[in-house]
Amino acid sequence: MTLNLRQAATLCVALSICALLIVPGNFPGLSGDARITLAVFALATCAWIGTPIDDTYIALGAGLALTATGVISSDELFGTLGDDTVWLLICAFVLAAAVARTGLAGRAAAFLVGGARTVRQLVHLTTAALVVTAFAVPATSGRAALAMPVFLALAKALSDRKRLVVMLALLFPTVILLSAVATLIGAGAHLITVSVLWEAAGERIGFTEWLMIGLPLAVVSSHLAAEAVLFTTTRREDRRGPVHITAEEIQKHSDKPVTGPLEAAETRCALLLGTVVVLWCSEPLHRVPPAVVALIGAIVAASPALGTVRLKDALKTVPWSLLLFMAATMAMGVALADSGAAKWLVGGVPLDLPPWLFLTVVVGVSTMAHLVLQSRSARSSVLVPLVVAAAVGAGVNPVAAALASTAAAGFCHTLPASAKPVTLFAEIPGTPTYTPRDLLRLSAVLAPMTAALVLLFAVAVWPLIGVPLR
């Protein structure tokens, strides 16, 4: 009954907005293309919020409507699939499939976690390992799936200490979500943000620039979040006892060896992944685009002689639905910018604010947006075009505003359904895990802490590395 009421309410809102936009006398100065764009945008947003219809289906329908009405051309709609950021993500998933076929993840877990002797050491070594996975596996759901066997091994080893198991169940998705900002391929929302910045503001952010901006924030926020998880889910006596996780316990949940000499396939994959990451990070030196580097890496990873996975098997792991969603929402962003709809939409908002106050509002709205829009990519599709347009009107650097919004939107821990990693670790048969009350308790601490940290970086740290407030 609640869902039906929600659907009815969102439908009424969407139709009311469309009715107001249809009347020519309303909103003077708003062009026909802008009216159509705002109507489609309102319908899509309300459908994302209030209906169970697949997000990608809604986005494709919106893109088709904008093309059929002539707001954007078919070349603009279909051209977004050829964007280099889409190819970057496809190739990154092929590389991730190659890594998953080897035992590198299990070896890394055994090496890092095996050195923990206290609960706090275990927490921070696990956090460091999860941050590193942002460079190997794109998208938070893929990283969560890769980390699940490691968590199960830790849960088995700590089965007599239930609170620590619950704490680790909450730690894994928390760090996975917050550390995604470390790299450009960490979430589809990042690629949408980069596309919107290029289309609306003419600002290009590459892999290296994102790394310099996002990695420090990811490291600091992840380790602070680890302390928050430890504080909200365990007691002092839980943290006092020693821990000792052996490689044999991790081996039980891995079909590949986690100790001993590297196998030939593991060595090749490790060298390939290391080379690709180094080339991504050194883009300003060699000027080879990250998508081209990723394509070379994907071809090598799937090659008959040197690869560890067949190309057709690797392509099965690519989330094609996400890519289509990204392409369609990129087209929506183009329509918002080119039709003048985004500029008009923020025109009535008071923008004579100090830069820090403007960013505070942006970060606050972005942090809480997951309560309305559960898809991280959908949140960026809705918020970033408006944030960029508002930033230009307020005299704030649109890059700083868009990055702050995207980073703040990485917080989505309030409900089990707020993000796929949270859902995945909330339902593990035979293993103690967290409850909705545990999530609410953590969110009460983590939401303001994350928002304050993003704002601190935007105001005090990012200007030092070339992203000023104005």
| DSSP string covering 394-455 | HT--HHHHHHHHHHHTT---SSTTSSHHHHHHH--TTS----HHHHHHHHHHHHHHHHHHHH
C-alpha 221/C-alpha 451 separation (Å) is: 10
DSSP 304: T
C-alpha 163/C-alpha 231 separation (Å) is: 12
Residue 356 near residue 218, CB atoms below 8 Å: no
Amino acid in position 403? L
The closest alpha carbon to 375, from 16, 48, 47, belongs to 48
> pLDDT digit of tens for each residue in the chain (470 aa)?
345 666 677 777 777 777 777 777 677 767 888 888 888 888 888 888 777 788 889 889 999 999 998 888 888 888 888 878 788 888 888 888 888 778 777 777 777 777 777 888 888 988 988 898 888 777 788 788 778 877 887 887 777 788 888 899 899 999 999 999 999 888 888 888 888 888 777 788 888 889 899 999 999 999 999 999 998 888 887 777 777 776 666 666 666 776 777 788 888 888 888 898 888 888 878 888 888 988 999 999 888 888 888 888 888 888 888 888 888 888 888 888 788 887 777 765 666 778 888 899 899 988 888 777 777 888 888 888 888 888 887 888 999 999 999 999 888 888 777 778 888 888 777 788 888 888 888 999 999 999 999 999 999 999 998 888 88
With the C-alpha atoms ordered 453, 459, 464, 469, is the resulting torsion angle positive or negative?
A: positive
Please tell me the pTM assigned to this model.
0.84
C-alpha 45/C-alpha 53 separation (Å) is: 12
| b/e 52-77 (16+ beta carbons within 10 angstroms → b) | eeebbebbbbbbebbbeeebbeeebb
C-alpha 417/C-alpha 426 separation (Å) is: 9
With the C-alpha atoms ordered 230, 234, 235, 240, is the resulting torsion angle positive or negative?
A: negative
SS3 of residue 29 by DSSP = coil
